[in-house]
Chains A and B, each alone.
Chain A
Amino acid sequence: MPPPCTRCQSERAVIVRPKNYDKLCKTCFLEVFEAEVHKTITTNALFYPGERVAIGASGGKDSTVLASVLKTLNTRHGYGLDLILLSIDEGITGYRDHSLETVKRNAVQYDLPLKVLSYTELYGWTMDQVVEQVGKKGNCTYCGVFRRQALDRGAASLGVRHVVTGHNADDVAETVLMNLLRGDLPRLSRTASIVTSTPSSAQTDIKRSKPLKYAYEKEIVLYAHHKNLDYFSTECIYSPEAFRGSARTLVKDLERVRPSSILDIVRSGEDMATLVPASVAPKAASGRESRYGGENVSVVYDLDEGTGGCGSANGRDSGGEMARMEHQLRTDQNAATHGLETEVTMASLGTPTSGSSIAVGVRPSHVQMKKANGKGLRQQTAGACERCGYISSQAVCKACVLLEGLNKNRPKASIGIEKTNDSETLDKGLAKVTLAEKKRQQVAQTEL
């Protein structure tokens, strides 16, 4: 005979909360879950009445639960939000086409408008085509970079200034560990932030937030299950990055040893963000007030054009990414030890001081970094891509760099049957035009 629910004491407990082992009945679990998300929203003052908010919807469990909970809370607590589903079609056959069907059904079920934006429209490439060209290794970089911009551009085209995503506590914990492993302090300082934003000086001033930041993945699954939500459960068919896969495995193991670990890592992530030196992440240094203060949500400028991937990692990667970084670090180390670097490079690495803990010439090199900082620490400054105007810490944003690489190798004329009837996308120059065209449209819409 199962014990009674520890909350209502009347119903039978059918759920053991993964987070803290509380035994709850179905009704209480759903209520508690919703109440916690509500509390996260109100404590951080995520929304204002009448705000138009786009829900980044993939059709997966996280965004489906997010849409459902937001819809519920919006009605229950009178947030007064104007909710829209925004879906990005990466063009992955067998994965996204199916999950998009789910999103379309969700739109009907929750009575929310839906906007679908495809990589083809924006970039002239589907992910399938990208993978065909670059292979399965490293394709998540393309996808991550493209999606980040796509969500912003999609939101801008809808006149929405706030995108919420379904990132859960497991995702955040995993990213905290991943950033520690790959020695990425700027990202570490942002990862645990509930709100990130691109600066207003840029073309797109879109706020992003993660209302499910403290929700356990397992509880999200339970919520979806007990609410009979319609979601798509297949993971992306392309391989995840190795660092994420490795961090994910560790997070799951830690959770098994101590269930609170996930939350504990999130907490550590928040605390460590305040310890990141101002020279690395000046904007994040004031993050702490937001955590306890409520009203005043710190805005962390997010220049994360990301090698981020999509977080659907399940550890299948062969470790190529880690091996590459290992190799690069060794080469750097070797060069630093033996003075093999040229004068110019040495100067940009900063002055080595003996006995200091500052790395000399050893940095994660998978990210293009600014080397101007004298302390050898990486600092990012916000600017705009000179090609598409998107927020970027480099002269040309990562998406444009990636696109350039892709387009360079694309045959100017195709042989055989192309799926696309739009032969323009085959022209290497025109892919950029497509992007520029989009940008003009957005600017026009923003002005409206």
Chain B
Amino acid sequence: MASRNHERGVNGLGQQCRRCQANESSIIVRNEALCAECLVKYIQTKVIKRLESFRVRHSAPGRPRKLLLPLSLGISSLTLLHILDGHLRGQRSNTGRTGYALHILHVTTSVQGQWAADPALLKKVKECYPDHVYFAIPLASIFDGDESNGARNTTSAGDHVPSSSSNQNRLDTLLTSLPTPASRSDIISILQTRLIVSFARTAGCESILWGDSTTRLAEKVLASTAKGRGFALPWHICDGPTPYGIDFHYPVRDLLKKELLEHAPLATSSVADIATAPPAPPTPSAAVNVRSSTIDGLVAQYFLKAESDYPSIVSNAVRTAAKLEAAPSDRWGRDGSVCRLCKLPVAEGLFGVTGWGGGRDGGVESRGSEGELCYGCTRSVPRDVVSLLP
């Protein structure tokens, strides 16, 4: 806090913008007083710099590379869409073609207690950015047996197609069988990732462009660690290939959430209109309420504060964690050593929570008896619920 006030004192809002030296500054971004125009430029540059490999010259004429952008309708993914839309226009006007084409996917999660975006918003987005292909699929379609058929349940018009009611029932049964809100939140995000991945692969996309901001990635670093999913951290935060057989990219990784929030109203289009509609992430009360708290919520709350007081520490934590190297495939263990739920490779086939140094109760070791889930998934899903999993 002190340093922030100090900054204001020195840089002084309302003075000249530090970048263009012309306009009056209105916002302080990482030490610098910037004008609105320069902030917009700053945000764009940070994202587009991450997309070097998708420049026009890297794609064959007439066959733009297909990329999937999962759109939660939150501030980060909307900002990403907004910037990419501009990027593509730029490419088209400069070269007459584009380096890539966007598929936009919105997963509707109609689950009790879970925030769900209004499907009408997706229509609005489509009106603002009409050059892309839009899809919406319900989370429950994860139960469609053959996941690769997920794409069938959609229409290119972006209309919401309800999953069959039996799928929705199965999802509801699964989620209500989970013991805590922490488990539910964990499992929902895993199912979302799985659904998005399988959709992207079916649709022939070569990469998924996630909208995660620095702040969100920092949350993932700590939340994954706290859930015993540290082994999989690189696959959740690093750019590049994943065991899902598709590349992940995080073009918004160098921007803090608060920067996106400051940027939204300045962006010329209606990002702000739409993005203000979804509520801010639920902010739990100061005291930890065991019954309703989730690990994700707790960590989000932690970084909400850290981001405002120590933004550089947040960025530094993400940059450092991104240096972790995913376990090489020869360590993934024998064929089929993949978690039934999160579909990530389990090193040395070490499923479950008991077969390691800290996994003993009363000194009795029961290695390998826990079947098909990785450590993190075993913590979230009690044994008697495993049969309900898709």
**Which residues of chain A have a CB within 8 Å of any CB of chain B?**
7, 20, 22, 31-32, 35-36, 38-40, 43-44, 169, 176-177, 180-185, 194, 213-214, 250, 253-254, 256-258, 260-261, 263-272, 274-277, 280, 288, 291-292, 319, 322-323, 325-327, 329-330, 333-334, 354-355, 357-359, 362-364, 377
Contact = CB atoms under 8 A, between A and B. Distances in A.
B231 A271 contact: yes
Interface string B246-261: 0000000100000000
B80 interface: no
Contacts of B233: 268, 272, 275
Contact of A357 (B239, B299, B326): B239
Given A44-B357, A323-B310, A357-B239, A32 B363 contact: yes
A276 B355 contact: no
Interface of B: 2-3, 30-31, 49-50, 52-53, 180, 182, 221-222, 224-231, 233-234, 238-239, 253, 288, 290, 293-295, 298-299, 302, 309-313, 315-317, 319-327, 331, 347-348, 350, 353, 355-358, 360-363, 365, 375-376, 379
B313 A258 contact: no
Residue from the set B182, B224, B325 with the largest chain A CB neighbour count within 10 Å: B325
Contacts of A182: 313, 316-317
Contact of B360 (A39, A213, A258, A322): A39
B226 A185 contact: no
Residue from the set A7, A280, A330, A334 with the largest chain B CB neighbour count within 10 Å: A330
A176 B38 CA distance: 38
Given A267-B358, A272-B230, A275-B325, A326 B3 contact: yes
A272 B347 CA distance: 12
Nearest to A356: B239
A169 B315 CA distance: 27
A181 B353 CA distance: 26
Contacts of B361: 20, 22, 32, 36
Residue from the set B225, B288, B290 with the largest chain A CB neighbour count within 10 Å: B225
Contacts of B302: 250
Contacts of A272: 225, 230-231, 233, 324
Given A36-B363, A264-B227, A292-B348, A275 B326 contact: yes
Nearest to A320: B2
Nearest to A277: B325
A257 B356 contact: no
Given A322-B313, A357-B323, A177 B225 contact: yes
Contacts of A43: 357
A326 B323 CA distance: 20
Given A36-B360, A257-B290, A325-B313, A268 B327 contact: no
A177 B222 contact: yes
Nearest to A169: B358
B184 to A, nearest CB: 12
A280 B50 CA distance: 25
Residue from the set A182, A213, A260 with the largest chain B CB neighbour count within 10 Å: A260
Shortest 6 CB-CB contacts between residues of A and residues of B: A268-B230, A183-B320, A264-B228, A35-B363, A329-B312, A271-B231
A274 B52 contact: no
A263 B53 contact: no
B230 A269 contact: yes
Nearest to B350: A292
B323 A329 contact: no
A46 B212 CA distance: 43
Given A272-B231, A275-B230, 19 more contacts: A36-B361, A39-B363, A39-B365, A213-B357, A214-B358, A257-B290, A258-B295, A263-B358, A268-B225, A272-B225, A280-B323, A323-B310, A326-B311, A327-B3, A330-B3, A354-B49, A354-B52, A355-B53, A357-B319
A292 B350 CA distance: 10
